[in-house]
Amino acid sequence: MHIVVCMKQVPDSAQIRVHPVTNTIMRQGVPTIINPYDLFALEEALRLRDRLGGEVTVLTMGPPMAEESLRKALTFGADRAVLLTDRAFAGSDTLATSFALAAALNKISQEFGEPPIVFTGKQTIDGDTAQVGPGIAKRLGLNQLTYVARIADLDPAAGTITVERRAEGGLQVLQTRLPVLITMLEGVNEIRRGSLDDAYRAARAQVVRWSAADAGITELARCGLKGSPTIVKKVFAPQGRAEKVRQVPTADRSADELAIDVIAAIFRTQPPLEDDLLRFAAGQ
């Protein structure tokens, strides 16, 4: 079975800093990583391949340096990596992104075989939109299974799949027909290490590189900034509160003295809170 995993290379967001004067992102030295949510999708795909045979192709759209993330995915054990990279994709919003990825998936189907399952992570840590997976599913007519906690059953011969999907207040057990798009929930598995041979193979592997034209995209107006219905009007740092923070003086106060000061300050700020707490304490 051929499985495709869509991934994204993202900045390690914990380390992003904003220029204090210009309010622009300082990219200096910000390391990039595979979007952590995508690793759950990749591991799930690798497990299915190990069980049922076949191949795992990883696909990403991004700048040339995104190849690093793909190579890392090969180190984990993926069989093939495809990088969709073209200046025409710059400035894509989620709609334009799903357009480009859907085209690349069609091309992958032609070149390497049609995948009954396409995986994505549940969302990225930089965009946090969770829209690209559903967008791809809709464009390619794949049955959409989001927030999947477990693949309970998969019968490639019969073309059916049963999954447990995280919903509000419980798990939905859904059965549908292949082909499907699955977005994996976080924490449902743990990415493997990859053997030394996998690492060696990955280091020397050729990553397939496609431009928009290579992926068969002719309508460039549907890509990148042009193909994005949303536009970013402004990017800004938030304002502080109008009313300044009241600092509790700490000079020459022991931790215990300071604690008493803090509690007094809290109750001065919000007197009813003291009654609430006393009621709680009385109820104990």
Partner 1 sequence: MIRDKFDAIVVGAGPSGNAAAYTMAKQGLKVLQLERGEYPGSKNVQGAILYADALEKIIPDFREDAPLERHVIEQRLWTMDDTSYVGMHYRSDDFNEEKPNRYTIIRAQFDRWFSGKVREAGAVLLCETTVTELLRDPQGRVIGVRTDRDGGTAFADVVILGEGVNGLVGQRSGLRPELKPDTVALAVKEMHFLPREVIESRFNLAGNEGVVIEAMGTITDGMTGTGFIYTNQESISIGIGCIVSDFAESGRTPYGLLEAFKRHPSVRPLLEGSECKEYAAHLIPEGGYNAMPELFGDGWIVVGDAGQFVNAVHREGSNLAMTTGRVAGETVVWLKRRREMATKANLAEYQRRLEETFVMKDLRKYRRIPDFLHRNKHIFGVYPKLLTAAAQTWFRVDGVDKRAKEKQIFQSFRSGRTLPGLIGDALKLARSWR
Partner 2 sequence: MSDAPPNAPKPPAAGRAGTKRELPERFKAYRHVWVAIECEHGVVHPVSLELLGEGRKLADKRGVDLAGVVLAGDSLTAAQTAAAAFEHGADLVYTVTAPILAHYRNETYTRAMTDLVNAHQPEILLLGATNLGRDLAGSVATTLQTGLTADCTELAIDDEGSLAATRPTFGGSLLCTILTLNYRPQMATVRPRVMAMPAREPGRWGRIVEHPLDLSEEDVVTKVLRFIADRESDKAQLAYADIVVAGGLGLRSAENFQLVRALAEVLGGDYGGSRPLVQKGWITADRQIGQTGKTIRPKLYIAAGISGAIQHRVGVEGADTIVAINTDPNAPIFDFAHLGVVADAIELLPALTRAFQAHLSVNRLAG
Which residues of the shown chain bind partner 1 in the complex (CB under 8 A)?
15, 17, 19-22, 26, 28-29, 31, 68, 75, 193-200, 203-204
Q: Is 238 in the site for partner 2 (CB under 8 A)?
A: yes
Q: Among 41-49, 57-65, 174-182, 201-209, which window interacts with partner 2 (CB under 8 A)?
A: 174-182
Judged by beta carbon distances under 5 to 8 A according to partner kind, the member of partner 1, partner 2, none in contact with residue 87 is none
Closer to partner 1 by CB, 31 or 170: give it. Answer: 31
Closer to partner 2 by CB, 103 or 202: give it. Answer: 103
Chain residues 89-128 in contact with partner 2, contact rule CB under 8 A: 93-95, 98-99, 102-103, 105-106, 109, 114, 123, 125-128
How many Å apart are CA 148 and CA 164, to the nearest integer?
6
Tokens representing 72 are 């890392």
Strand 80-84 to 170-177 pairing: unpaired
Q: Is 214 in the site for partner 2 (CB under 8 A)?
A: no
Judged by beta carbon distances under 5 to 8 A according to partner kind, the member of partner 1, partner 2, none in contact with residue 133 is partner 2
* Residue 85 CB partners (closer than 8 Å, separation 6+): 61, 62, 63, 64, 66, 209, 210, 211
Q: Is the preceding omega at residue 179 within 30 degrees of 0, hence cis?
A: yes
Of the candidates 48, 50, 36, the one whose C-alpha atom is nearest the C-alpha of residue 7 is 36
Chain residues 193-212 in contact with partner 2, contact rule CB under 8 A: none
Q: Among 41-49, 73-81, 206-214, 256-264, which window interacts with partner 2 (CB under 8 A)?
A: 256-264
How many Å apart are CA 233 and CA 225, to the nearest integer?
13
What backbone phi and psi angles, to 5 degrees, belong to 143? -70, 135
Judged by beta carbon distances under 5 to 8 A according to partner kind, the member of partner 2, partner 1, none in contact with residue 19 is partner 1
Report whether 208 contacts 67 (CB < 8 A). no
Of the candidates 115, 126, 79, 103, the one whose C-alpha atom is nearest the C-alpha of residue 222 is 103
Q: Is 13 in the site for partner 2 (CB under 8 A)?
A: yes
Chain residues 46-85 in contact with partner 2, contact rule CB under 8 A: none
